[in-house]
Chains A and B, each alone.
Chain A
Amino acid sequence: MMMSGGIRYYDVRHVTGQTTHIDIDNSVIESAGTSFFSTAVLRVLGPSGWGILTIDNYTSPRGKEFDSLLESAASLARITTEPVNLADAPHGVLPVPAMREDPREVSLEEKTGVLGEIESAARLPGIVNSRATYIERAEQVSFIDSSANEYSFEICRSGFNIMAVASREGMVQMGYERLHSIHGLNIRHQQELGRLAGVRALSLLDAKTAAGGTMDAILDPELAGVFAHEAVGHASEGDLVHEGNSVLSGKIGERIGNSLITIVDDPSLQEFGFDPVDAEGVKVGRTKIIDQGIVGAYLHNRETLASVGNGVPGHARAMPGEAPLVRMSNTFIEEGDSSLDEMLEGIHNGIILYGSRGGQVDPGRGVFQFNAEYGFIIEHGEKKGMVRDVSLSGEILSTLHSIEMCGKERKMSQGYCGKGGQSVPVSDGAPYIMLRNAVVGGSGTE
């Protein structure tokens, strides 16, 4: 269908909502309140590429007023030269799971009180600062396109972070826990996580800096999830493959890892990265990026499916007021059949690492980095002294070969992923995994 002005396609994604936050710092309620937003993105596909308009406080105009917005976007598209085509893709919306307790129905005062209990639980003797933050974001999303696809849904994400800081003789260390959910208010009865943050900060005061070098490593489920996200997930994103900026380009069907490794991205999974439908109205589902060590599929939107192929659409995601990009959602390594004891037994000299403050990847170069919060040296299969601030780096095309064991139980952790200036909610997960000859970064020399 060709519309006026050479417009081949358009869509509008309008998001309205409210954000509630609470910040309790050393028992002082620093702030607690709600802000409101309404923003829309109008995308027009002209004769070549996209013209995109972001409009704050969008009023869903009809008739001539809407036509004039279409014309503005089409006029932007005139400078584009790339021939963009959209692949057909199945449409459809999943139901958003019902919340156990809708956070919006609990008063800000009550939520502040409950959060305060987590914050005070972190204040153990020796802790110099504890800070708890609560964030709740409710979005009403409506989508319409020129092919008469239309959907709307509402989703509310909420959760908390708790940080504890311990200090001694000029040394400052922190412990950090977080829990975020799409299933409703999750801050009740979480004092144990507050206490854990405090215990972690205190024990890190006695941890040593790890010695950098190559060694065997066991990653806990949270860190192994970040590993899957950085080492494989980004490089499988169809836009990077299309740009020639991924080492996984042209590798479909090739073995890049041990056959016990399967890595999946699944926005339909009811975890923190859940989307009932993607940002282009496409049905969401499970994509096996790595299937028993072999590159199985790329993550796509309609545009990159058309230009690259070899993959699955339904992976377009966007922040409110931003144009959709190809993104991960819930990314994980499938379970294997090893136990943690078996992994430990297999290591003579190595390290076991826990938790993460994130990571980063250069997908074209094929090199990634990710960070562990803490770990323990392993000697002859036994956990010894604690180490802090350890990062790992690796190379995408070889790193999966070094995974020798996968544990039996997968656990998902929540976070946010940044790309192109946009931050979207994701979850990552894995069982425990064991890597041979990992490159561990630390400034210690022993």
Chain B
Amino acid sequence: MGHPISCSGTRWWAAVAPNEDYMPEDIASLIDTIISTGETLAEEVEVFIAGGESVSAELKRTKIGIAAGSYAVGLGIRTIDHGHIGASGTSDPSAWRKCLDAAISSGTLATPQEWGGLPLSSVREQPLLSFDPEVWVKAEIAEAAIYQMLTGAEEYPVNVTSGSADISTGYLSLANSHGVRYSTKKSSFSVSLEAISDQSTGYEFDQSVRMSVDPVNVGKMAAFFAHHGRSGEDIPTGDYSLVLSPMAFAQLLGSVFVPAVNGRSVHAGRSKLANSLGEVVADTSISIFDDPFRNYGPGSTCWDAEGVPTRRIDIVRDGVLTEFLYDLKTGYRYGKSSTGSALRSGYGGSPGIGYHNLVFDGPRSGIRDEPAIYVHDVVGAHTANPMSGDFSVEISNPSWIENGDFGKPVRKAMYAGNVFDLLKNIEGLGHGERVIGSMVLPEVRLSGQRIIGV
């Protein structure tokens, strides 16, 4: 329910922090203490510590109304004893004993699992793939980015309504009772702007692990979409060719496709793709893979949230479904190997299954050359049915594109379809790509898509 336009996941991951020595000695010794105490209570112990620092500036129309900073810290503990997995977390690492006890008692209740052990220490090289030391958590840098966006937005006669610039750095440490002692750092810089002209709104954003975001262009594009959408015309209900922006496509994939390739959903009977391994599930030109080693990828890492070494996972190769994603627990239960796909969304509880950098790829062409309706963003993707894949959403900034460029805007249009079906109906991928969250995708062209006009 709601208005998740600007949702950015939990603050925890946004607020991953700085620190010159990213495994400070006090953290290392705290980890050793927790593990040695935990080993007297359970066969295996896993400790996760993360902390970070962030700063942000928020626009209210054309003035900065809020400057915010945060210091985050958290400790997660998991214990495994005869297949009983327990977990707990706390924002107060000095209260680790209470957290350890909560993990142990949580484990006594959980149904015992088939369990083959936490991993041994095996990752030798640990390059910082998702960190740039040039990212400084300074309010003045966020401030400068805000003014650059405003400059970009001046390109069109619109009113800026809101915007923000966020900078964060952080550290993560993972350790277990088999000798794993991994640490890494993360950094992130993101900017976004919203503008309006009459009743036409425009939104654009950019994000990077580095300082390489382009605030001027973000301002310009948000203003362009607000300006361009005025005086749109209604279109009749019918089937149309569409070009989905990376932002629109990422939302539909994230709501339906991603949960359907999660190994736990697959084996629990919650995935439409459960029996489709080896079958064509997308146009045969399409490949979808998780690339954890992408340089400066927002989700890049050499080890997953359980310390399993990560690897490239070819989920769909040339249109054929080849692999699902597993963590240790799901892997052990169903006789599969972990694919290094354990992820934590915070310090509490157990890790879940997810992707590091989900890349959508295939041959590129000039997909804007023939007329189509361009879909900049969608309203309501989270209401898609994750089981059946059916969705009906409102299109943001619908507009005709002709001869590679934006033509007449469309006033209002709903788009109804099915994510599993549309993957098979992809006609082409555009040149270039964008990073949206931890997905990397191009524009996508589809034909025969149902639009409900007015």
CA–CA, A103 and B81, complex, Å: 27
Verify if A162 is at the interface (C-beta below 8 Å from B): no
Q: Is the CB of A37 within 8 A of B90?
A: yes
Residues from chain B with a CB closer than 8 A to the CB of A82 are 60-61, 63-65
Q: Is the CB of A209 within 8 A of B390?
A: yes
Docked-complex contact B418 and A358, CB < 8 angstroms:
no
Q: Do A84 and B390 have beta carbons less than 8 Å apart?
A: no
- The verdict on B139 contacting chain A, using a C-beta distance below 8 Å, is yes
**Bound complex: CA of A419 vs CA of B99, how far in Å?**
31
Residue of A nearest to B273 (CB): A172
B106 contacts A32, C-beta separation under 8 Å: yes
Partner of B111, one of A29, A55, A75, A129: A29
| Residues 155-188 of B contacting A (Cβ, < 8 Å) | 159, 161-162
Min distance, Cβ B74 to any Cβ of chain A, angstroms: 7
Given A33-B87, A213-B452, A358 and B2 contact (CB-CB distance below 8 Å): yes
Separation of A82 and B69 alpha carbons in the complex (Å): 18
Contact of A364 among B64, B87, B196 (CB under 8 A): B196
Given contacts A80-B67, A243-B60, contact A321 B199 (CB under 8 A): no
Report chain A residues within 8 Å CB of B89.
Answer: 35-36
A4-12, A46-54, A139-147, A401-409: which lies at the interface: A46-54
In angstroms, Cα B286 to Cα A423, docked, is 35
Q: Which residues of B sit under 8 angstroms from A56, Cβ to Cβ?
A: 70-74, 91
B2 and A416 contact, CB distance less than 8 A: yes
The answer to whether the Cβ of A109 comes within 8 Å of any Cβ in the partner chain is: yes
Known: A28-B111, A29-B111. A391 touches B393 (CB 8 A): yes
Chain A binding surface SS class: strand
What B residues does A321 contact at CB under 8 A?
11, 70
Residues A439 and B454 in contact, CB atoms below 8 Å apart: yes
Question: Which B residue sits closest to A229, measured CB to CB?
Answer: B1
Q: Contact check: which of A37, A81, A418 meets B63 at CB < 8 Å? A: A81
B418 cross-chain contacts in A, Cβ below 8 A: 443
B388 pairs with A389, CB closer than 8 A:
yes
Q: Is the CB of A417 within 8 A of B414?
A: no
Residue contact A33 to B91, C-beta cutoff 8 Å: no
Looking at chain B's contact residues, the main secondary structure is mixed
Cβ–Cβ contact A54 & B70, under 8 A: yes
B394 lies within 8 A of chain A by Cβ: yes
- B338-384 residues with Cβ-Cβ distance < 8 A to A are 347-350, 379-380, 382-383
Q: Does A359 contact B349, Cβ atoms closer than 8 Å?
A: no
Q: Which of A185-193, A309-317, A335-343, A366-374 contacts B (4 or more CB under 8 A)?
A: A366-374
Q: How many A-B contacts if CB must be within 8 Å? A: 321
A167-B269, A369-B379 as given contacts; A418 in contact with B64, CB under 8 Å: no
CB < 8 Å neighbour of B90 from A35, A79, A439: A35
Residue on B nearest A24 in the bound complex, by CB = B111
The reply on A203 being an interface residue by CB < 8 A is no
B23 CB, nearest partner CB in chain A, Å: 19
Tell me if A220 is interfacial: C-beta within 8 Å of chain B: no
Residues of B near A234 (CB, < 8 A) are 2-3
Interface size (B, Cβ < 8 Å)? 94
Asked if A369 and B387 make an inter-chain contact with CB atoms under 8 angstroms apart, the answer reads: no
Please tell me if the beta carbons of A364 and B199 are within 8 angstroms of each other in the complex. yes
For the complex, what is the distance from the CA of A131 to the CA of B267, rounded to whole Å?
13
The answer to whether the Cβ of B450 comes within 8 Å of any Cβ in the partner chain is yes
Asked if B37 lies at the interface with its beta carbon under 8 angstroms from chain A, I say: no
Q: Does B318 contact A (CB under 8 A)?
A: no
Bound CA–CA A173/B418 (angstroms)? 13
Q: Are A49 and B65 in contact (CB under 8 A)?
A: yes
Instruction: Please give, as numbers and ranges, the residues of chain B lying within 8 Å of A371 by CB-CB distance.
Output: 380, 383, 392
Q: Would you call A442 an interface residue if the criterion is a C-beta within 8 Å of the partner chain's C-beta atoms?
A: yes
Q: Bound state CA distance, A425 and B205, in angstroms?
A: 28
**A25-B268, A395-B412 known; A421 and B8 CB under 8 Å?**
yes
Which of A50, A360, A390 is the one whose CB lies under 8 Å from B66? A50
Q: Does A362 contact B (CB under 8 A)?
A: yes
- The yes or no answer to B405 lying at the interface (CB within 8 A) is no
Near B by CB (< 8 A), chain A positions 200-217 give 209, 212-214
Interface digits, B88-101 against A, CB 8 Å rule (1 contact, 0 not)? 11111101001100
CB distance from A165 to the nearest CB of B (A): 5
**Which of A54, A72, A388, A417 has a CB less than 8 Å from the CB of B388?**
A388
Known: A56-B73, A418-B3. A174 touches B385 (CB 8 A): yes
Residue in contact with A54 in the complex, picked from B60, B72, B454, CB distance below 8 Å: B72
Residues in A neighbouring B2, C-beta threshold 8 A: 229, 234, 358-360, 416-419, 423
Task: Report the Cα distance A79→B143, complex, angstroms.
Answer: 7
Most buried by A among B350, B388, B393: B388
A347: Cβ under 8 A from any B Cβ = no
A36 touches B416 (CB 8 A): no
A-chain residues with CB within 8 Å of residue B262 when the two chains form the complex: none
B310 within 8 A of A: no
Give per-residue flags for B1-28: 1 if the beta carbon is below 8 A from chain A beta carbons, else 0.
Answer: 1111111110100100000000000000
Does chain B have a CB within 8 A of A251? no
Q: Is A415 an interface residue (CB 8 A)?
A: yes
Assuming the A-B contacts A79-B57, A322-B11, are A439 and B414 also in contact, with contact meaning beta carbons closer than 8 angstroms in the complex? yes
Complex Cα gap A432–B330 (Å) = 44
* 8 A Cβ contacts from B97-144 to A: 98-99, 102-103, 105-107, 109-111, 139-140, 142-143
- Does residue A95 face the partner (Cβ distance < 8 Å to B)? no
Q: How near does chain B come to A375, taking the closest CB pair, in angstroms? A: 12
- Known contacts being A82-B60, A371-B392, is A361 close to B88, with CB within 8 Å? no
> Does the CB pair B392–A441 fall under 8 Å?
yes
- Determine the chain B residues whose CB is within 8 A of the CB of A393 once the complex forms: 379, 394, 412, 414
Q: List 15 A-B contacts (CB under 8 A).
A: A21-B349, A35-B89, A36-B88, A37-B348, A38-B91, A38-B92, A50-B66, A79-B142, A165-B269, A165-B387, A167-B269, A214-B454, A364-B196, A393-B379, A441-B394
| A-B pairs with lowest CB-CB distance, top 7 | A33-B106, A441-B392, A371-B383, A35-B348, A128-B269, A54-B70, A82-B63
* B residues apposed to A, CB below 8 Å: 1-9, 11, 14, 55, 57, 60-61, 63-74, 85-93, 95, 98-99, 102-103, 105-107, 109-111, 139-140, 142-143, 159, 161-162, 194, 196, 199-201, 229, 237, 264, 268-272, 275, 347-350, 379-380, 382-383, 385, 387-388, 390-394, 396, 412, 414-418, 450, 452, 454
Known: A56-B74, A321-B70. 16 other contacts (CB 8 A): A28-B111, A36-B90, A49-B67, A52-B67, A57-B92, A73-B69, A174-B385, A213-B452, A229-B2, A245-B196, A321-B11, A322-B11, A365-B200, A391-B380, A439-B414, A443-B417
